[in-house]
Amino acid sequence: MTAVGVIILGMVLFLRPGGGEDRVSPAEARNMMEHQKDVVFLDVRTPEEYAGPAGHIEGALLLPVQELEARLGELEGFRGKTIVAYCRTANRSRHAVALLKERGFHALNMSGGIVQWNAEGLPVVHEGTP
C-alpha cells in the first residue's frame, strides 16, 4: 500500500461515524457491567425513547444529549468512573462522549447503541422513565 493509501485509510477510519473516539461493543459493555464496579451507563436518548419499545439498559442514567452540557453537574459524582454512553445507534452518544471527554470524564461510546444491544439479545428493561 502506498503512503497516500495509508493516509486515506486512516482518514476514513477516523472520520467514519463512531470513529476518532473510544468505543466499546455491546458485548464488551455487558462484560464491563458484570465485572467492574466503576462503570456507569448513560442513556442520552429522549425520555420517550428510554421508556419506548427498545427499552433501556438496567441501571442506566437518562440524560438526553440535548440537555447534557447544561446538566453536566449531575455527573460530577461519576468523574472517577467509566461512563458508557449509548443512544439508538451510537450517533448522539458519539457527540456526548466528545463533550464528556472534553470536560475531563472517562467516557466510551457503545457501538451500535441500543439497536445493536437488542440485536445481540442482551437484557433490557421495559418500564417507564426514571
The answer to whether residue 61 is domain-embedded is yes
User: Which residue range forms the structural domain that includes residue 52?
Assistant: 22-119
Residue 3 lies in a domain: no
- Nearest Cα neighbor of 85 from 115, 41, 120, 55 is 41
**Pairing of the two strands 82-86 and 61-62:** unpaired
Is 101 a member of any domain?
yes
The answer to the question of residue 86 being in a domain is yes
Summarize pLDDT for 32-79 with one digit per residue, the tens: 999 998 999 999 999 999 999 999 999 999 999 999 999 999 999 999
What total of structural domains would you count in the chain? 1
The one catalytic residue in 39, 51, 85, 87 is 87
* Residue 127, domain member (yes or no): no
Q: How far apart are CA 62 and CA 105, in angstroms?
A: 17
Q: Indicate whether 83 pLDDT > 50.
A: yes
Going by pLDDT thresholds of 50, 70 and 90, the confidence category of residue 10 is very low
The CATH number linked to 69 is: 3.40.250.10
Residue 14 lies in a domain: no
Answer with the residue of higher pLDDT: 10 or 86.
Answer: 86
The reported pLDDT for the residue numbered 130 is: 54
By three-state DSSP, how is residue 76 classified? helix
Does residue 87 carry a catalytic annotation? yes
Beta strands 106-110 and 23-24 are: parallel
Residue 58 within any structural domain of the chain: yes
Residue 124 within a domain: no
First to last CA, the chain: 52
For residue 96, the model assigns a pLDDT of: 97
